[in-house]
Amino acid sequence: MSRNVLKVKERKDRYKVCYMPGDDSGFDMMEGALVVLLSMDLPIDWVRADLGWCMWEKSVNKFGQGDPRCNTVPPETIDKIRSSDATLMAAITSKSGVKGFKSAILQMRQLFDLYINLRPAKTLPDLGSPLKGDPKIDLVLFRENTEDLYSAVEFHPLPEEMFNLHKGMERFRKMGDVAVSWRVFSSVGCERIIRAAFEYAKSTGRTKVHCCNKANVIRETDGMMKRIFLEVAKEYEQYGIAGIEENADATAMWLIKNPQDYQVIVTSNVFGDILSDEASQLTGGLGFAPSGNIGENTAIFEPCSGSVPKYAHQYRVNPSAMLLTSKMMLEYLGLDQAGQKIEWAINEVLKENRPKTLTYDILRDFRNDPDWERNAASTIEMATAIAQKINPSLTDSTLEDIKAKAREMCDWTKTFGFED
């Protein structure tokens, strides 16, 4: 690889970071994260942009339902991402059955060619795993991010000429309404995600890379990935890195039985989506699951947790996924020590388990607190506890000023995009 794409393209003394509060509880998550990030006096200039369901509604109100200009991503947001060193994005809302609606993050992944979806799954010492024996899990999943069934190459209704493309389609002629999604793989797409996984293993001292596929059944697409993986793996044997390929369904089973045996996993888009969510459930659930969408020229970091519309603006959601995502972004920018402080502070707050410092999901699912509803902290209370671990002087008016700044930066009554 020409450079380490898991690091920012140009190191600077000060960075411009685009932040996007997202939708619904995404605003709450981002506000909590900013309480921590603003308290750290980072060399970052923040610029706000918006995308997601909030932008879809705004564009429909502006242009009218059915207008081709309606979108979840306004042109202003694209410009801000392009001019920033990195982007921090909160959870967004997607709704099915909405004509013309396009996923905002899928658009960004393809527009900016963010071909790596980086998903770490690591047990936090004071949270543990729900699995028997509390195995120590520390794996990183490299999910191909721009191809496969998420390529958005779909047909419905199916044009008549499509039945003639392959003899296997003949039996569907009399099967009524037919829809087709193409599973598109390319040699470039396969090789670059595989090399990224091996380069990561090499740079971090890991000794195993698993390629999870179904080449025994899906022979052309997964067969291509398997073949390229085995070729690339030979190059890294000299570094003491073993390339292991296995069926994705076997991986799903072994992740439950022996997750500690995995170090780096590389796989296709759909399998990566499923396996990374499974791995996250073994290490605290989606409330602790970060991810990064990374390409040659930029990166968008987003938590894996959803926007939880039923809790929108109630400040009930766990800020940890957003903060661990922020840690990934800081490490991408070369601010590794700052990122490590965030993970350390989360662990300290989990360990101390003081009243009104842990959100309901932690008390309910990991502390077995029968009064979890009454004892739960708000998003901002847990974020404040984490921030105060990093910066003990964060009290009184200093704390209130930072809270007010974070709230102002995430004001959900004001959005940016589709302006005149």
DSSP 184-241: B--HHHHHHHHHHHHHHHHHHT--EEEEEE-TTTSTTHHHHHHHHHHHHHHHHGGGT-
Residue type at position 251: T
What tokens appear for 329 in the block? 């972004």
Supply 141's token pair.
Answer: 């999943």
- How deeply is 277 buried, as exposed, middle or buried, from its count of CB atoms within 10 A (0-12, 13-18, 19+)? middle
pLDDT of residue 1: 45
Q: Is the dihedral of CA 165, 167, 169, 170 positive or negative?
A: positive
Q: How far apart are the first and last CA of the chain?
A: 43
Sequence-distant (6+) residues with CB within 8 A of 253 are none
Residue 420's pLDDT band, with cuts at 50, 70 and 90, is low
* Residue 396, H or E segment: helix 396-409
Report the pLDDT value the prediction gives residue 128, as an integer from 0 to 100.
Answer: 83
- Rounded to whole angstroms, how far apart are CA atoms 283 and 129? 5
370 and 2 Cβ atoms separated by less than 8 Å: no
| Average pLDDT of the residues in 336-362 | 96
Separation of alpha carbons 367 and 126, rounded Å: 11
Q: Which residue type sits at 99?
A: K
The SS3 assignment for 181 reads strand
The pLDDT, as a whole number, for residue 172 is 94
What is the pLDDT averaged over residues 153-163?
91
**pLDDT-based confidence at 97, cuts 50/70/90?**
confident
18 strand-pairing partners: 47, 87
Average pLDDT over residues 149-177: 92
pLDDT at 49 exceeding the cut of 80: yes
pLDDT averaged over every residue in the chain: 95
Instruction: Name the helix (H) or strand (E) containing 138.
Output: strand 138-144
* Tokens coding 306: 């959803």
Token pair belonging to 85: 């060193």
- pTM for this entry: 0.95
Residue 78, burial from CB neighbour count under 10 angstroms (0-12, 13-18, 19+): middle
> Measured between alpha carbons, how far is 356 from 272 in angstroms, rounded to an integer?
36
Task: Check pLDDT > 70 for residue 362.
Answer: yes
Cβ atoms of 403 and 35 closer than 8 Å: yes
| 304 contact partners, CB below 8 Å, separation of at least 6 | 119, 276, 277, 280, 286, 289, 290, 291, 321
| pLDDT beyond 50 at 261 | yes
pLDDT band for 73, please (50, 70, 90 cuts).
Answer: very high
Helix axes 379-390, 336-352, angle to 10 degrees: 120
DSSP H or E stretch at residue 379: helix 379-390
Residues 413, 407, 335, 261: what is their CA dihedral angle, to the nearest 10 degrees? -80
Question: What phi and psi values does residue 211 have, to the nearest 5 degrees?
Answer: -110, 115
- For 100-136, the pLDDT digits (tens) are 999 999 999 999 999 999 999 999 988 888 888 889 9
- SS3 of the chain: helix, strand, coil, percent, to 5: 45, 15, 40
Structure confidence at residue 2 (pLDDT)? 55
Categorize the per-residue pLDDT at 83 as very low, low, confident or very high, splitting at 50, 70 and 90. Answer: very high
| Separation CA 107–CA 6 (nearest Å) | 21
Phi, psi of 15 (to 5 degrees): -115, 155
